[in-house]
A and B are shown apart, each in its own frame.
Chain A
């Protein structure tokens, strides 16, 4: 019935294969970026993609970004396919979820260099001499966000808000908890006894739930919410616009991303805790080009290395009193100097 037709179809396709397989790959991209999700989060993955584009401009590397989608059963074959193709001497990928997959795949392809950002492989238990991994001390950025949010809330300049700040997280995973640990500590240090609300949306890609949670926190009296939720955080920013309260963005300079499309939204974003994944990837690719990439080890990057920081948002900065701004700057300096150690959610005291 339908069998002959399908069989015929497959045979025709098989006939095309030898001619097609190679020609289709045309050109010679050198750097592949495998996204275990999709671009467009205006946050983490978009920041990484920006780093790749920058590498194309500055380092004259050809790059290709591949979105693996949100179905985890397809990530392993996606990664192996890139490594196996032989077209990419270097593969960039990120998140703690990808760590074990890189650990599994990398030893099979010793000629391919893997750059893993915001994730680790267990070098003690894997022949991963071709993997370079980067961890970020996001707790330091979270701390500054906490100082800023709590300082502003205590100053009492936000109409309708009480002595309360909020946090909306994507999921209670170590990276997000690490942001939150820093945020809570910063808030308590800046305004002892302040209430810090914290709730998780259980998704990185659910702006509707993010908005719901944010509305609830603003309703309870939170003046500022720190959103650490990937694409879910877009809902938090929307809630900030509608309630007239404030939000602190994450990973990318989110005020800058919204400035053209929605200036009202951008004005509610006090700042963003920048996890400069883009700069870190650019740096790693530059080192690789120079043959100086420290393969086979993990580097920890934070405020001191410029991998973590706060973004400037001129519109919203006007609402922050000078004393609060000074407190943030002082905390930043103490962290860089090493006189202040920010608590972390990672076991062993460091990410």
Chain B
């Protein structure tokens, strides 16, 4: 598909989804226009002129929530998109994220308030995620275990291990809820923008994408991963170590999900509650699908999806649209954008109508 066609396709899908969303809102809301505006402008800060003529920025926190969300989504998107290059459908980002968060918190708490805590926690998160990903990779390449099943099951194991360790080992009995103690300050990232949760991780995410792109396009391993995905039989005949490349693709994806875990533990929450909700990793699938598996497009897909999520929250906060409807509209938009056939169908229909009209005029 040519770039302009692709652009038109996405614009059409988003437009159609928003129109349908508006129809839903019109049914449930007394002020559908206000709700719609809140959805579209929610994540943006508002700039106002104060009484004394100075410009005052409000709601920066929503802008921050957008970037924060996009950061996590980019990283878990990478965790899905990389095995996808090797034609592997990994659903394991969730478990890898939990393992990464747990490792980062454990290392931070173990080292305490020392300057090495931050880099070591960062590395520990990546290593723990990579290790957990490698397990799925080896199960696939050594035992031909279906990766969809193994990654889903490994998620369950990881989440329960996480709960066990947070609840029994790292538990802070004085907290009033089951959680680790607050991580030492030296191990956590300070916000870059005041009163938001945007930290240096917002720069790590695009750097991770660049690193992944470099790896996939400019290194032997990247080429091998691509070959393993494109035609494994041919690749094996040509002497490419397909099994190794596939397993490493899983490990690599785990490392990025582990970094998303680091983002949750050392940048956002700064302590880990036992009931951290699973499912953050699964959002990566949506992001990877929105980006159509292209690594370079992940940050944009993540920004778009996060924009929608934060906008939906803003709509819920500012209007009378209930949370359930917000979730429905959110799902509709994704459904439209990832539906490949829908847009060409609509475009074709429009063309037919136009030719018909043209025919009649002539």
Contacts and interface: CB of A to CB of B under 8 A. Distances in A.
Interface of A: 1-6, 8-10, 13-14, 16-26, 38, 64, 66-67, 69-74, 76-78, 80-82, 84-86, 95-97, 99-100, 108, 119-120, 171-175, 202-204, 347
Interface stretch (B112-120, B217-225, B234-242, B297-305): B297-305
Contact of B31 (A20, A26, A38, A69): A26
B321 to A, nearest CB: 11
The size bracket of the interface on B is: 35 or more
Interface stretch (B121-129, B312-320, B352-360): B312-320
B323 A38 contact: yes
Nearest to B337: A2
A72 B3 contact: no
B7 A171 contact: no
B14 A9 contact: yes
A156 to B, nearest CB: 38
A14 B273 contact: no
Contacts of A4: 3, 7
B104 interface: no
Given A13-B40, A24-B34, A1 B297 contact: yes
Interface string B148-183: 000000000000000100010000011111110010
B44 interface: yes
Given A72-B269, A99-B176, A24 B319 contact: yes
A80 B61 contact: yes
A86 B61 CA distance: 13
Given A74-B313, A81-B59, A173-B177, 9 more contacts: A5-B10, A13-B307, A18-B46, A24-B34, A24-B38, A24-B42, A71-B277, A72-B277, A97-B176
Contacts, number: 160
Contact of A66 (B14, B175, B179, B317): B317
A11 to B, nearest CB: 11
Contacts of B146: none
Contact of A17 (B46, B196, B273): B46
A73 B113 CA distance: 23
Interface in B311-335: 313-319, 323
Interface string B275-317: 1110110000000000100000100110110010000011111
A203 B61 CA distance: 29
B320 to A, nearest CB: 9
Interface centre among B8, B42, B301 (most CB of A within 10 A): B42
Contacts of A80: 61, 195-196
A173 B178 contact: yes
Interface in B183-221: 195-197
Contacts of A16: 37, 40-41
A202 B163 contact: yes
A85 B68 contact: no
B52 to A, nearest CB: 16
Nearest to B1: A1
Contacts of B176: 96-97, 99, 119-120, 173-175
B27 interface: no
A6 B337 CA distance: 12
Contacts of B59: 21, 81, 84-85
Given A10-B307, A108-B195, A25 B313 contact: no
A320 to B, nearest CB: 34
